[in-house]
Amino acid sequence: MKKIALMVGLLTATAFANAADPLNGTVWKTIDDETKQAKAVVKFTEQKNGTLSASIQSVLTPGEENACTKCEGKYHNKSLKGVTIVYGLKNVNGKYEGGTILDPKNGKTYKLKGELAGNKLNLRGYMGVAALGRNQTWIRAN
C-alpha cells in the first residue's frame, strides 16, 4: 500500500511539474497605457523551450490593422494580425521575466517582465533598467 501511495504521489508531482504555464493558450485584450482603450487581442503560446510568446489574433482599433509599417524584418508592411509581439517570456516563481515585446506603433523591441493577477496581466516594457519603462495592464478575454 505504501508503494502504491508513493507511486501515485510521484506521478502527481511529475504531472504538475510538466503542466503547461498558466498563460499558455490564454487570450488577452491589450490596453493602451496612454488612451486606456483596447487595442488588440493576443494569444499566448508555450514554446518547446518552455518560454512564452504572444501573437496578435485581431486588431480592435479601426484603421490600424493593415500594416506594421515601422516593424523590421518579416513583419515589415504586413498585417498586424499574426504578428508575434511577445518572445521568450519565462515563468520564474510565479512572475514573468526575460521576455521581449514589440511595439508595432514604433517598431521597437523592449525587455519585458510581468505578473499575473487574476484576470489581469500587469506588464512592464523597458530599455536598459526596468525603472525606465512603461506599464500596461492587459485584461483576460477568455
- The answer to pTM > 0.85 is no
Q: Tens digit of pLDDT for each residue in 121-142?
A: 999 999 988 888 999 999 999 7
Range scoring the smallest mean pLDDT among 28-32, 75-79, 109-113, 118-122: 75-79
pLDDT per residue over 58-99, tens digit each?
999 887 777 788 888 888 888 899 999 999 999 999 999 999
* Cβ atoms of 109 and 101 closer than 8 Å: yes
Going from the N-terminus, what domains does the chain have, and what CATH number goes with each?
20-140 (2.40.128.520)
Q: What does pLDDT average to over the chain?
A: 85
Indicate the pLDDT class of residue 20, thresholds 50, 70 and 90. confident
